[in-house]
Structures are given as C-alpha cells and as structure tokens.
C-alpha cells in the first residue's frame, strides 16, 4: 500500500472556518509539490500531516495506520520545517542542531556526528561555528532543513521554504530538496510555480481547501 494516504481529509477551525475539504491522495517516495494561493489550506494540511492538528473529518494513514490513533510511528520518522521556523540567532548552527537533537529526544551517542552530517548535507559545514544571526536568509532555511533531517526522516515536510530567498539561494534550495528525495517522501508547499517545475515528481493544487489537480506536473504546467 502507499506510504502515505489521505482519505477524504477535512479540517474546520474552532471558529467555524473550513480550511481543508475532502482531500484524497495516495503518496509514494518522491517530491509532492503542493501548490496554491495564500489561504488555500496548505499550511493546515501540512500541520495535520505533521500530527500537530487532527483532521476533523476523514483520515491520514502512514504505512496503513491511522495517525490520529497511532501517531508515534510517523512522529519518529518525521522531519518538519514549518513556515515560521525560527532558529536562535545567538547560537552557532552546530550548537542549535545539538540543542534540537535534545529537544527531539535523539540518542546522545553519535549526535555530534549526526549534527555534522546534516550540516554537510545542506552545505553549511564551513559555517557550522558561526552564529546563525550572521547567516543569509537562504542559509537560515538550510539550518531549518538540517534540523528536520536529524532523525533521517522518511517523511520530510517543508512549508513555503523559498519565500524571501534570492534567486541563487532559491535554486540551491531546490537542488537540495531533489538530493534529499530518493527514498524519502518530501512534501513541499509553495505558491511559486518554478519551485514545482524544478523539483516536484507529483503535483497537487489546492484552491479554497479543495484539491483541484493531482498528477504529473507536466500535465498542468506545459513543461517541455
């Protein structure tokens, strides 16, 4: 069965605001680009996938198990870069990642090595001992990815990661996500079409909480 299944997933906020309606998707490893304008429900959907909000209707299955009832298998293997991710500017990247390893209750043994491996994966090895406050926006986003990779996640969720990046960093970031896919499922939310063209293997488009397209990016974006 697919790694991740969304079965008629809906979410209504406490104030009655309906943010997600009837989303059904079956996902295998690769990069799912989740495209849609502001307010389409992308962040709400990603918070549900990150087990930070429970669907108010329908179900999300990870390896065939409902995550509302059994969140732990997914949580153990989840990497999440939220839209409003903030790192501590006075810490170095290495210090921050060690701290995040403790927050995520990762084993202390081998953590230093894992931190260095993750910093290398995102190309920050040479800046590892500099304070994050001195980093560019793109470097800060790469710190965000590095912390999401600490537990070697099978599901990596990144919410609008290229907002505010310059074109060079944006390109670098897309290439990084492509490198990270492979055996992982990466879910990338964006309202920037070129982000999708460059990296997504599957495309889902949301408008007003509903899925209005799901398929090959080429089928929608008229790519060569």
Which positions lie near ligand ADP, rule CB under 6 A? 13, 15, 17, 19, 36, 38-44, 83
Q: Which is nearer to ligand ADP, 17 or 90 (CB)?
A: 17
For ligand ADP, the closer CB: 14 or 107: 14
Closer Cβ to ligand ADP, 15 or 105, answer by number: 15
**What is the nearest approach in angstroms of ligand ADP to the Cβ of residue 219?**
22
Q: Which residues in the chain belong to E strands, given as ranges?
A: 4-12, 18-27, 30-35, 57-62, 65-66, 78-81, 155-159, 185-190, 202-207, 210-215
Smallest separation (angstroms) from ligand ADP to the CB of 41: 4
Tell me which residue of 209, 188, 206 sits closest to 197, measured CA to CA: 188
Residue with tokens 């993750």: 118
Contact of 161 with 45, CB cutoff 8 Å: no
Closest to ligand ADP by CB, 17 vs 108, is: 17
Instruction: Kindly state the smallest distance separating residue 56's Cβ from ligand ADP, in Å.
Output: 12
- Residue 92 CB, shortest distance to ligand ADP, in Å, is 29
Three-state secondary structure along 66-98?
ECCCCCHHHHHCEEEECCCCCCCCCCEHHHHHH
- Closer by beta carbon to ligand ADP, 43 or else 151: 43
Least gap, CB of 76 to ligand ADP (angstroms) = 25
Instruction: Please list the residues that pair with 6 across neighbouring strands.
Output: 25, 60
């Amino acid at each position: 069965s697919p790694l991740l299944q969304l079965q008629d997933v809906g979410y209504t906020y406490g104030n009655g605001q309906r943010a997600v309606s009837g989303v059904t998707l079956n996902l295998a490893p690769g990069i799912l680009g989740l495209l849609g304008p502001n307010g389409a429900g992308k962040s709400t959907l990603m918070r549900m996938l990150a087990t930070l909000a429970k669907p108010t209707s329908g179900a999300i299955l990870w390896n065939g198990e409902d995550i509302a009832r059994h969140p732990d298998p997914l949580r153990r293997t989840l990497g999440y870069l939220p839209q409003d991710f903030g790192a501590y500017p006075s810490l170095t990247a290495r210090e921050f990642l060690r701290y995040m390893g403790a927050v995520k209750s990762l084993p202390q043994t081998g953590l230093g090595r894992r931190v260095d491996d993750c910093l290398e994966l995102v190309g920050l090895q040479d800046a590892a001992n500099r304070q994050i406050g001195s980093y560019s926006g793109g470097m800060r986003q790469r710190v965000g990815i590095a912390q999401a990779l600490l537990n070697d996640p099978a599901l990596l969720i990144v919410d609008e990661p290229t907002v505010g990046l310059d074109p060079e960093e944006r390109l670098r970031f897309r290439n990084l996500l492509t490198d990270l896919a492979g055996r992982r499922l990466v879910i990338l939310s964006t309202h920037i079409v070129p982000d999708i063209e460059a990296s997504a293997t599957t495309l889902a488009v949301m408008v007003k909480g509903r899925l209005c397209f799901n398929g090959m990016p080429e089928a929608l974006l008229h790519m060569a």
